[in-house]
Amino acid sequence: MASPPVLQSQIYRSLPEMERSEAIVRRISTAISLGMLRVGERLPAESELSEMFGVAGATLREALAALRDQGVVETRRGRSGGTFVVKSPATQAEQLRRYLQETSIADLRDLGDEQTAVASAAARLACDRAHPNDLDRLEQLARGLDRADSPEGRARADSRFHIELAVVAQSPRLTAQEIRLQAEVGQLLWTPLAGIFDSAAAAREHLEIVSAVRADDPDRAQRLVHEHIRRNTYHLIDTKLTLTHAGDEEEIR
């Protein structure tokens, strides 16, 4: 199943002039990591991609070659050929660990505040703007967290739900902000660096948010989003403190 046009417009939007093939690699890799592009999905044709990204064909081909070298996509020839997503980029646990160790508690709290502001606005707008079919899709994505069987899969399912909430709110700006935030925090939350995050509780909270939006109850939807992201933020802070304590013990030894 191809990504919805709203997501395609975010993934393949035109690049600033100073960004080239590396930016395309980063954009597509992030989209796969967040579940916006799925394994098995075919990318648009090279001519379309060049136009959407606003780059020359040679620049695009350089980016696709880099993605092939990473094993993330493959290009198939023939009538039903094209460039297909074949796997998600590997999670770099050591980079995530270092990020948490170097990021202050105040910055993690601030990140949670920004997430709360964006997701709360999306939830309130979704109550007013979402079509019933949109909410069916959102509920299906909420249930996807229970079906995920790996930390990477849970990270994708969680991020995809939050991005879709902004999509059904019909706000491209909130969608772009949520994509940026999920790229920063999504894998941090689910990679078991110092403890396993409670996926069952997160899935229940997602479904409760959908229920509030279906009931056209923006105050409840906003409150649920706030509580959900606050719990996420506390988990990141607890993980940071655990990693910091473990590092201090290693230095003592």
Query: According to the model, what pLDDT value does residue 253 have?
Result: 45
Domain ranges of the chain: 5-85, 93-252
Q: Where are the alpha helices (DSSP H) in the chain?
A: 5-11, 21-33, 46-53, 57-69, 93-102, 105-129, 132-147, 151-168, 172-190, 199-214, 218-252
CATH 1.10.10.10 fits domain 5-85: yes
Bridge partners (DSSP) of residue 84 are 42, 74
Mean pLDDT of 194-217: 94
Task: Inform me whether the pLDDT recorded for 126 exceeds 50.
Answer: yes
Mean pLDDT of 32-59: 92
Query: According to the model, what pLDDT value does residue 18 have?
Result: 52
CA distance 25 to 17: 15
Q: Among 3-17, 83-97, 107-121, name the one with the lowest average pLDDT.
A: 3-17
Task: Give tens-digit pLDDT for 96-120.
Answer: 998 998 999 999 999 999 999 999 9
CA atoms within 13 A of residue 223's CA, in its CB half-sphere: 6
Task: Give tens-digit pLDDT for 215-230.
Answer: 999 999 999 999 999 9
Mean pLDDT of 33-40: 92
Please give the angle made by the CA atoms of 62, 172 and 83, to the nearest 5 degrees. Answer: 30
Query: According to the model, what pLDDT value does residue 17 have?
Result: 58
User: In this structure, how many other beta carbons lie within 10 angstroms of the beta carbon of residue 145?
Assistant: 24
Mean pLDDT of 180-189: 92
Q: Do domains 5-85 and 93-252 have the same CATH topology?
A: no
Which has the higher per-residue pLDDT, 122 or 193?
122
User: In this structure, how many other beta carbons lie within 10 angstroms of the beta carbon of residue 133?
Assistant: 9
Mean pLDDT of 79-100: 89
Task: Give tens-digit pLDDT for 61-77.
Answer: 999 999 999 999 999 98
Instruction: Please name the helix (run of DSSP H) or strand (run of DSSP E) that holds residue 75, with its range, or none.
Output: strand 73-76
Cβ-Cβ contacts under 8 Å for 16 (sequence gap 6 or more): 23
- pTM value is 0.83
CATH 1.20.120.530 fits domain 93-252: yes
With H, G, I as helix, E, B as strand and everything else as coil, classify residue 43.
coil
Query: According to the model, what pLDDT value does residue 78 have?
Result: 84
